[in-house]
Amino acid sequence: MAEDTVIQRSTALQVFEALEAAVQERERALAGRPRRREENGDEASPQPPQNTLPELQLFQARLEQIRIWITDDPELLRIVDDHLGRHVRQVEARRVRRERWAMALTTVSGAVLGWLVSALAAPDVLWRALF
């Protein structure tokens, strides 16, 4: 029963389910896309040809196989979850670091601009500072 709980809460399974849904949506889009006609009257392939239907079906079959392996092997599920968790933490750490740099940069640039504006507010002070 504990394995079922781990499997239900698994990040890896949620990722694979989201990937499968995206592949199925792309398949439906490819299958339902009308072909456009070339200027000379010949049918052209759908634009843009990012993925073909057989490629998506192969990708979906591989995702399904991986999902089965992960569902059947709790140790593999734990390894994949740990890897995904580490990746998510690294991405989050990079995002936080970028935000902190942006905050520091805007604070410093705001202080410098404020100082310049206050210096320009009194032209005689700026004149004395330059000469």
* Model confidence pLDDT, tens digit, residues 58-82: 888 888 888 888 888 889 888 888 8
* pLDDT (average), residues 45-63: 72
Across 40-44, 106-110, 111-115, 116-120, least confident range: 40-44
Identify whether 59 is part of a domain.
yes
Identify whether 56 is part of a domain.
yes
Identify whether 62 is part of a domain.
yes
Identify whether 43 is part of a domain.
yes
* Secondary structure string (H, E, C) spanning the chain: CHHHHHHHHCHHHHHHHHHHHHHHHHHHHHHHCCCCECCCCCECCCCCCCCCHHHHHHHHHHHHHHHHHHHHCHHHHHHHHHHHHHHHHHHHHHHHHHHHHHHHHHHHHHHHHHHHHHHHHCHHHHHHHHC
pLDDT of 1 above 80: no
Identify whether 6 is part of a domain.
yes
Q: What total number of domains does the chain contain? A: 1
* pLDDT (average), residues 78-98: 91
Identify whether 112 is part of a domain.
no
Confidence of residue 105 (pLDDT cuts 50, 70, 90): very high
Return the percentage of the chain with pLDDT > 90, whole number: 19
Identify whether 68 is part of a domain.
yes
Identify whether 118 is part of a domain.
no
